[in-house]
């Protein structure tokens, strides 16, 4: 099958750390416009999978394609310009800087491309600055954080700090947004806000979203596609309804051996 229809495509991706197979022969295809969740018990290999996709680490075997291009072994700094942005499990924000300046740092990846690059090329640095600021303002409005735009991020609640990190990733104008445990540590209301933002990010901006998530509520509510990892292997891949009914998934979450729940007759 041609890989053209997929935004991201992993073929036989494995990662070995010393004697440990953190990932083994992962095949995964994510279509443009999907919300795809990666789930699995602790240590299943989810973060390692994100590290492969964002080229933070090279795979031990297999290959990855992004927008049809082979990105296997590319340096991580090449990915934002290719249209990939990421948030991290541990908050990655500049706590002493304001909300606005955190979001503006996300523009750096774009500075030599698109409208900003064109403005810089013609020597119009000031115009580039204005364009960056306008784009950041638009993101601040989209994420409903106008009233806190000039506050240092460290003074905000955890949920709002995560929202700022999301804003900085959006400022990179990605085609693919990788969200690593976005709602962990958030209360119900903050989680619902994030779910709504993720849906809007896909609907209004056409951004494909991949998320690692332990919160099954948000996974089942907003994902089109769920891939389940366990001990470095993909044990299920399908719609939320398909994977949640899959015996291997039920067994993995209950800590039982594969085939222990509702095995095929
Ligand atoms: N840099 C590394 N060196 C050695 N082992 C590693 C490294 N990174 C991850 N591992 C191991 O690889 C396995 C998969 O880890 P990974 O962090 O990808 O799992 P995870 O599914 O993201 O877990 P969690 O849900 O707890 O975040 C684990 O056994 C982990 O200890």
231-254 pLDDT, tens digit per residue, is 999 999 999 999 998 988 888 877
How far does the centroid of ligand 1 lie from the alpha carbon of residue 45, in Å?
6
Query: Residue 84: pLDDT above 90?
Result: yes
How far does the centroid of ligand 1 lie from the alpha carbon of residue 128, in Å?
41
What does pTM read for this prediction?
0.89
Do residues 118 and 110 lie in contact, with contact meaning Cβ atoms separated by under 8 Å? no
Residue nearest to atom 18 of ligand 1 (CA): 45
Residue nearest to atom 26 of ligand 1 (CA): 42
ipTM reported for the complex, 2 dp: 0.96
Residue nearest to atom 17 of ligand 1 (CA): 47
**155 contact partners, CB below 8 Å, separation of at least 6:** none
Residue nearest to atom 12 of ligand 1 (CA): 22
Which of 210 and 4 is assigned the larger pLDDT? 210
pLDDT above 90 covers a percentage of the chain that reads: 69
Do residues 24 and 232 lie in contact, with contact meaning Cβ atoms separated by under 8 Å? yes
Q: Which two tokens stand for residue 97?
A: 């800087």
Q: From 15, 16, 20, give the residue whose CB has the most ligand 1 atoms within 8 Å, as the site to mutate.
A: 20
Architecture of domain 1-83+175-265: 3-Layer(aba) Sandwich (3.40)
Listed residue (9, 3, 109, 100) closest to 62, CA to CA:
9
pLDDT of residue 256: 67
Taking the C-alpha atoms of residue 18 and residue 184, their distance in angstroms, rounded to an integer, is 30
**120 contact partners, CB below 8 Å, separation of at least 6:** 111, 112, 128
Q: Are strands 225-230 and 20-31 parallel, antiparallel or unpaired?
A: unpaired
**Which residues of the chain does CATH 3.40.50.300 include?**
1-83+175-265
Q: From 37, 40, 44, 233, give the residue whose CB has the most ligand 1 atoms within 8 Å, as the site to mutate.
A: 44
Q: Which two tokens stand for residue 104?
A: 């503006």
| CB-defined site of ligand 1, < 6 Å | 17, 20, 22, 40, 42-48
């Amino acid at each position: 099958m041609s890989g053209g229809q997929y935004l991201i495509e992993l073929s036989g991706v494995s990662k070995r750390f010393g004697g440990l197979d953190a990932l083994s022969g992962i095949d995964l295809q994510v279509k443009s416009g999907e919300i795809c969740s990666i789930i699995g018990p602790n240590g299943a290999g989810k973060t390692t999978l994100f590290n492969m996709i964002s080229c933070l680490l090279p795979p031990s075997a297999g290959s990855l394609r992004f927008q049809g291009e082979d990105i296997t072994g590319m340096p991580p700094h090449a990915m934002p310009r290719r249209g990939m942005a990421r948030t991290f499990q541990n908050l990655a924000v500049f706590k002493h800087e304001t909300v606005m300046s955190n979001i503006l740092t996300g523009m750096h990846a774009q500075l030599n491309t698109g409208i900003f690059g064109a403005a810089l090329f013609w020597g119009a640095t000031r115009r580039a600055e204005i364009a960056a600021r306008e784009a950041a303002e638009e993101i601040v409005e989209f994420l409903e954080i106008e009233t806190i735009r000039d506050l240092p991020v460290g003074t905000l609640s955890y949920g709002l700090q995560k929202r700022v990190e999301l804003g900085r990733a959006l400022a990179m104008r990605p085609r693919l947004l990788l969200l690593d445990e976005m709602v962990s540590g958030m209360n119900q209301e903050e989680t619902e806000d994030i779910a709504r933002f993720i849906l809007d990010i896909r609907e209004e901006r056409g951004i494909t979203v991949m998320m690692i998530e332990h919160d099954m509520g948000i996974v089942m509510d907003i994902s089109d596609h769920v891939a389940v990892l366990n001990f470095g292997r993909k044990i299920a891949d399908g719609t939320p309804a398909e994977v949640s009914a899959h015996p291997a998934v039920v067994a993995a979450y209950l800590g039982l051996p594969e085939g222990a729940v509702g095995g095929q007759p």
